[in-house]
Amino acid sequence: MRNTRMLLLYRFEGGEAILTRMTKALDAAASGEEAAREGAREGLYEAVSLLLEEAGSRGFFGNLWHCHLAHLLVSHENAYSTACEIRGRIGGSLEQAALHDMGLFLEWFRADLDALASDLGVPELGILTAYESPHQGGRTYNSRIRDRILELTAAFEKAEGPEEMLEDLTQFYKEYGVGRFGLHKAFRIAGEGEAVRIVPIPRILHVSLDDLVGYENAKRKLIDNTEAFVEGRPANNCLLFGDAGTGKSSSVKAIANMYYERGLRIIEVYRHQFRYLNDIIGTIKDRNYRFIIYMDDLSFEEFETEYKYLKAVIEGGLEKKPDNVLIYATSNRRHLVRESFRDRDDPLDKHGGDTVQEKLSLAGRFGLSIYFGSPEFSEFQHIVAELAQRSGIRMDPRELSRQASAWQMRHGGLSGRTARQFIDHLLGMESGT
């Protein structure tokens, strides 16, 4: 049995715990040396434990060994996999190197675990071949991503040779991408300083723009800009501003869901992380995805200076801003930075107008500004009626209107969010009766 040291592209820094233990066990069983077999037996128990934990984390079922091998291939970022993401087959020497590695993986796929369990005296290994999951999903992946990995696993199990296996894998890279950016649609920033990492958000609200009642003009502007960006045409950084609870953040989440299949990814960055923006862009600029750096509820007090990091990134320095990166922000403020009369009238500042312009210029760096305003009373009632119909609530329209009016006066006023909360309240009352 060939081992992991023979891989050309799909190498794992520091070794891959499960794969290493399993290949050592296969080698030990083939060697017949008792000393090697005893050590391999202990490693095999460790591998079983790790595979069971992985199944719980990622929601895998069936042959957990095969699921693990498929997961290694779809999550490993190397010269071949990143070249194929979104683009597909590349040919040449890299493809030959990948074909070599598929030969090893196919051999591991075809390993007889039942014979291995019998030979090394580890009957518990049988748990791995037909594992039944106690739940439908996992903590790391949502069910859609998990199912795609399971479908690829099934294709690998049917592959007659490494060429067919590589063809299936390359098609996966083209359709879904590779690694964290291929398997997830949204990300956040974790850590500080040199330890800053872009980490996946396993689940985001599966909302669509149709869920937002009204705001047709605003939604159309957002779609048109994002469509141009995804297609590689010129597009603008976008500021969604307006009253609280009007659907600005939900619209960005809907865009993430709407364009995920076409290679769009969202990275959420908080204000205190702006100093890392250049590092973040440096990490993603050469990938074959389109990235929106998303800043929610963006605003600055007059004494805060983090907005200067953002201005510098939007304006760009000597290096041109990558074509695959845009910035989308939401804010309750049109001008983002709070302006004070002191900025205009400070007698010690001979150029007070310059101070004002510096603060106002940040919003101007967003080429597209989209307004989300609070609905009029009649529009609010229309939103409530539409949401009630979608939710299956059957109530006399006049009574629904009366209760909605009373609710908004006690719970935040006229907004789409208040309407949604009112409908949720009614649904909760129905389920409790």
Q: What is the pLDDT of residues 183-236, one digit of tens each?
A: 889 999 998 777 789 999 877 778 889 888 888 999 999 999 999 999 999 999
What DSSP letter does each residue of 417-430 carry, written as one string?
A: HHHHHHHHHHHHHH
Check whether residue 354 and residue 286 sit in a common domain: yes
At residue 335, does pLDDT exceed 80? no
Look up residue 115 and give its two tokens: 């014979």
Predicted pLDDT at 259: 93
Among 141, 157, 183, where does a domain finish?
A: 183
Of 423, 432, 425, 418, the residue nearest 390 (C-alpha)? 423
Write down the pLDDT at residue 313: 74
pLDDT tops 70 at residue 135 = no
> Could you tell me the residue range of the domain that residue 265 belongs to?
186-372
Contact 186, 204 (CB under 8 A): yes
- Output the domain CATH number for residue 226: 3.40.50.300
Task: Please give the pLDDT value at position 360.
Answer: 58
pLDDT of residue 366: 83
Sole residue written with tokens 């069910």 = 143
3-state DSSP assignment of residue 111: coil
Helical residues (DSSP H) of 196-243, grouped into ranges: 216-230
Is residue 216 located within the same domain as residue 327?
yes
The pLDDT of residue 413: 87
Task: Report which DSSP code applies to 125.
Answer: G
On whether both 177 and 196 belong to a single domain, the answer is: no
Among the listed ranges 116-125, 359-368, 406-415, which one has the minimum average pLDDT value?
Answer: 359-368
Query: Mean of the pLDDT values across residues 228-255?
Result: 92
In order, the DSSP letters of 312-376 are HHHH--SSPPPTTEEEEEEES-SSSB---HHHHH-TT-TTHHHHHHHHHHHHHTSSEEEEEPPPP
Q: Highest mean pLDDT range out of 43-57, 73-87, 93-107, 339-353? A: 93-107
Same domain assignment for residues 421 and 353: no
Sheet arrangement for strand 325-331: 197-200, 186-190, 264-268, 290-295, 325-331, 238-242, 368-372
Longest C-alpha distance within the chain, in Å? 90
- Could you tell me which residue, 412 or 264, shows the higher pLDDT? 264
**Which residue in this structure is represented by tokens 């070599």?**
100
User: At residue 127, does pLDDT exceed 60?
Assistant: yes
136-155 as b/e: b if 16+ CB within 10 A: ebbebbbeebbebbbebbeb
Q: Does residue 432 have a pLDDT over 90?
A: no
CA distance 177 to 265: 11
Give the residue from 294, 284, 315 showing the smallest Cα distance to 238. Answer: 294
Residues 6+ apart with CB under 8 A from 264: 185, 226, 229, 230, 255, 256, 289, 290, 291, 292
pLDDT exceeds cutoff 50 at 351: no
pLDDT of residue 357: 57
Same domain, yes or no: 232 and 152 = no
Range from 105-109, 187-191, 205-209, 403-407 carrying the lowest mean pLDDT? 205-209
Looking at the structure, do residues 337 and 393 belong to the same domain, yes or no? no
Is it the case that residue 29 has pLDDT exceeding 60? Answer: yes
In this prediction, residue 120 carries a pLDDT of 86
- Asked if the model's pLDDT at residue 322 lies above 80, the reply is yes
Does the structure show a pLDDT above 80 at 405? Answer: yes
Domain count of the chain?
A: 3
- Non-local (6+) Cβ contacts of 244 within 8 A are 332, 412, 415, 417
Does pLDDT of 263 surpass 50?
Answer: yes
* pLDDT of residue 403 exceeding 80: yes
Mean pLDDT of 302-326: 71
Structure-model confidence comparison of residues 391 and 354, the more confident one: 391
Cα of 409 vs its chain's centroid, Å: 37
Cα distance between residue 19 and residue 96, in whole Å: 23
* Amino acid making up residue 353: G
Q: Which of 126, 156, 183 is the last residue of a domain?
A: 183
How far, CA to CA in Å, does 226 sit from each of 31, 94, 185, 251, 406? 58, 33, 15, 12, 38
Interval 341-357 mean pLDDT: 50
Range in 11-25, 98-112, 373-387, 405-419 the model is least confident about? 11-25
The Cβ-side half-sphere exposure at 316, using a 13 Å CA radius, reads 10
How many angstroms separate the CA atoms of 183 and 180, rounded?
5
- In which band, very low, low, confident or very high, does the pLDDT at 341 lie, cut at 50, 70 and 90? very low
Positions of E strands within 78-214 = 186-190, 197-200
Check whether residue 146 and residue 235 sit in a common domain. no
From 183, 217, 234, the end of a domain falls on 183
- Same structural domain, 287 and 383: no
Model confidence pLDDT, tens digit, residues 150-167: 999 999 999 999 999 999
CA 127, 133, 137, 138 dihedral sign is negative
Gap between the Cα atoms of 260 and 255, Å rounded: 8
Answer whether residue 142 shows pLDDT above 90.
no
- Local confidence band at 50 (pLDDT 50, 70, 90 cut-offs): very high
| pLDDT value at 292 more than 70 | yes
Question: Residues 201, 85: one domain?
Answer: no
Same domain, 127 and 236: no
Average pLDDT, the chain: 85
**Residue 263 DSSP class:** T
- Contact predicate 43/21, CB 8 Å: yes
Same domain, 58 and 74: yes
Q: What percent of the chain has pLDDT over 90?
A: 42
CB 47 within 8 A of CB 65: no
* Whether the predicted pLDDT of 361 surpasses 70: no
User: Which residue type is seen at 47?
Assistant: A
Q: Tell me, yes or no, whether 205 and 223 share the same domain.
A: yes
